[in-house]
Amino acid sequence: MQAVEVGVGPVTPAEVVAVARHGAAVRLSEPALRAIDGARAAVEVLAAAATPAYGVSTGFGALATRHIPTELRAQLQRSLVRSHAAGSGPEVEREVTRALMLLRLSTLATGRTGVRRETAQLIAGLLSHGITPVVHEYGSLGCSGDLAPLSHCALALLGEGMVRDAGDRLLPAGEALAAAGLEPVELAAKEGLALINGTDGMLGMLVLALHDLDRLVRTADVAAAMSVEAQLGTDRVFAAELQELRPHPGQAASAANLRALLRDSGVVASHRGPDCHRVQDAYSLRCSPQVHGAVRDTLDHCRTVAGRELASAVDNPVVVSTGEEPRLESNGNFHGAPVAYVLDFAAIVAADLASISERRTDRFLDKARNHGLPPFLADDPGVDSGLMIAQYTQAAVVSELKRLAHPASVDSIPSSAMQEDHVSMGWSAARKLRRAVDGLGRVLAVEVMAGARALDLRRPLQPSPATEAVVRRLRDAGVAGPGTDRHLAPEIETTHQLVVSGAVVAAAESAIGEMQ
């Protein structure tokens, strides 16, 4: 895989995914190195001045009033990193830590933080060699940045703390650096603070979640099409002329997908004539574009915020210049509120998308509402339970997603002796969004599995080319069709993997072209 070059400008979401999830190497561009050198020169001037400068020659937070003499400043930076590496709980996922490190490096590359080039290059070295510091679940309040998570990463640059190497072995950072031919750094003035004062953890998790949700929203359209089709619903409500009466762009996109997915369906055509006396489908079928579309529009807003944050240089203080000599200025850009709010918003729409999916699935299983299908899609109802308990699993996940939809960003616990008296809890919002994304994929998997079984039970009526391709993909992967009861958990997990890998969407697109 081609290395990602970090420059003065922002990294892209695709680059974040490449480095975080796929292990791409990283290098700093020459313009970035020059910008880093320029900011470092400014910090050196300020460090030598008699006037105290926050983060360079003072303490931190509530201790900022103490002026630190020159001979203690290296210790100041080491002490900052060591004391702030105070996380607790399970390790966070490797991809989260790699995203966090890349985004901190991206801010350093703007030339606004004052680190030395060797410090920035060591972060790139760790990423390129697959060395991942151990970061813990708890420790960030999402204000003054993700302090504890970033401090655990900074600690590794000193050759301290624990890391995982490219082979996922847990070992001391010093040993991993030596094995990779990397030298730890001795932090100079301002560097410790610059390494830990950013929204990089919560932003990295937002970018990864949005990448996954883009695929899951399209999967939801596929699942809804299978449900509408197999439950003998009408595609007329998805007509463009009706959608244009309410011109939300996400709604239009989802409706267009549903029209394409249901095109040339023999199942839909079988009940389109004058003999059909059904007036309206249930909301979970008829209103799929409205709900899915609102999810899409919300996620587009989240992407806008993520893009702005990717283009930001988050540190305090920062090196600024407006035609005069460069100077250090304190600011509040480290506050995670903009990111925290959209993390919570994304968790809300993930929960609702799962909720409507579960309602469509439940309709398959109820003989009073499934229009001629066997109860629970069972082979011999009473002897066989069919997909009864698969829906229980779905319902349990949906209930969990509703709890995860409670916003973290409305909470705040003052810290640092009331100096940091309002915090964003953005890291917590990001952690629960990751769980919500995982749960949504599992809920959609059950609907897809139920839809495939129901379409098989409708034969000899022929599904649309798109939904038929999805049914074939499941069957080829070992998810069997209708029949007597069998161990369902492996089939649910296989379908889940097909959902999250994009194979379900790819199967549908093989018949209709790229979905919106």
Tell me the pLDDT tens digit for each residue of 30-88. Answer: 999 999 999 999 888 877 877 777 767 776 666 667 777 777 878 888 999 999 999 99
Q: How far apart are CA 319 and CA 322, in angstroms?
A: 10
Looking at residue 320, its pLDDT comes to 87
Looking at residue 62, its pLDDT comes to 61
14 vs 419, more confident: 14
Mean model confidence pLDDT for the chain: 93
Give me 417's structure tokens. Answer: 């002796």
Q: How far apart are CA 134 and CA 149, in angstroms?
A: 9
**Domain residue ranges of the chain, discontinuous segments joined by +:** 4-198, 206-512
CATH number, domain 4-198: 1.10.275.10
Active site amino acids:
54
Q: How far apart are CA 293 and CA 441, in angstroms?
A: 18
- The arithmetic mean of pLDDT across residues 411-440, rounded, is 89
| pLDDT range class, residue 168, cuts 50, 70, 90 | very high
Tell me the pLDDT tens digit for each residue of 230-274. Answer: 999 999 999 999 999 999 999 999 999 999 999 999 999 988 866
Please name the residue that has the structure tokens 């994009």.
502
Per-residue pLDDT at 342 exceeds 70: yes
Is the pTM above the cut of 0.85? Answer: yes
Looking at residue 418, its pLDDT comes to 74
CATH number, domain 206-512: 1.20.200.10
| Residue 484: DSSP 8-state | S
Alpha carbon of residue 387 to chain centroid: 30
Residues in contact with 96: Cβ distance below 8 Å, sequence separation at least 6, in sequence order? 20, 135, 201, 204, 205, 208, 434
| pLDDT range class, residue 176, cuts 50, 70, 90 | very high
